[in-house]
Homo-oligomer: A and B are copies of this chain.
């Protein structure tokens, strides 16, 4: 079995197992991204939503609800809510990062303009709140409102922390919870809550989403410096060029001597980058084993995700989620 087959399998199996429900989610998304008055809204939204994202987050909600025996209909609304929040944050992220490519296509801020991305993002946030109100469940509302605040807080924190060498691993994890894990954990938790699962199972679902999200983001940050697998198709060094302080660099900075510190300060803090700097950065990461210890952290979070699942009932979906936790780290092992 090649790496690619191994990698795609858990997501594909989840997709198959949840295909009917995912169709209902997609229909609801299409319905709610319409606008009676402003045709710009569905244009921008469709560009992003129909670009073939994996719909991982709404699938997590459906998977959680199914595992705890819920049989609808409101997991559909919650899953669509989660995808709308995700899409809104992508629109705003691309403005903030001045990105020009997303999912292999030009970004909305490039095709239309920053204004449209900001305002259509706001519209999708508002639509997500309308959707999350519909199930009439106060607890799922709290979870999703709190996740939205954590996401925005993490993004602001990243603005100030990313180029600051004093950023600790704790702050990095806080940023990662904001930008990635908060929506994963909310997605799984609301699936359990709407299904009326006992408190320990709801907690387990939260823990799974949280740990999976953190593992996922650490792997993403590792791959940016090459990781163990260069076959995935990411550009090495984007984070370095954008001066984003991620886990491998934080680990290398912690072990840096005075000369190395000067190098990191010049390239990341001051943004003064020259030919050969990326190669030197990669050397420093290798010298201190920074990639290996960061990968060990990703593996530990993946293991924590799998352990969390033990509190949940035996279920084919549970096995797929276990495999999913292996999958997210398989790209660096």
Contacts and interface: CB of A to CB of B under 8 A. Distances in A.
A156 B126 contact: no
Contacts of A129: 129, 145, 148-149
A174 interface: yes
Contacts of A114: 95-96, 114
Interface string A142-161: 10011011011111110110
A123 B96 CA distance: 14
B133 A38 contact: no
B156 A116 contact: yes
A216 interface: no
B119 A96 contact: yes
The prevalent SS among residues of A at the interface is helix
Contacts of A38: 153-154, 156-157, 159-160
A295 to B, nearest CB: 26
A123 B146 contact: no
B149 A123 contact: yes
A198 to B, nearest CB: 23
Given A38-B153, A41-B156, A118 B95 contact: yes
A75 B85 CA distance: 27
A159 B40 contact: yes
Interface residues of A, number: 44
A1 interface: no
Contacts of A312: none
Contacts of A123: 149, 152-153, 156
Interface string A23-57: 00000000000011111110000000000000000
A120 interface: yes
B152 A119 contact: yes
A144 to B, nearest CB: 8
24 contacts: A36-B153, A37-B154, A38-B153, A38-B154, A38-B157, A38-B159, A38-B160, A40-B156, A40-B157, A40-B159, A92-B122, A96-B114, A96-B118, A114-B114, A119-B159, A120-B152, A122-B125, A123-B149, A123-B156, A125-B152, A129-B129, A130-B145, A133-B145, A136-B138
- Enumerate the 10 nearest inter-chain pairs by beta-carbon distance, A residue then B residue, closest first: A126-B148, A123-B152, A126-B149, A122-B152, A38-B156, A38-B157, A129-B145, A96-B115, A130-B145, A119-B155
Interface of A: 35-41, 89, 92, 95-96, 114-116, 118-120, 122-123, 125-127, 129-130, 133, 136, 138, 141-142, 145-146, 148-149, 151-157, 159-160, 171, 174
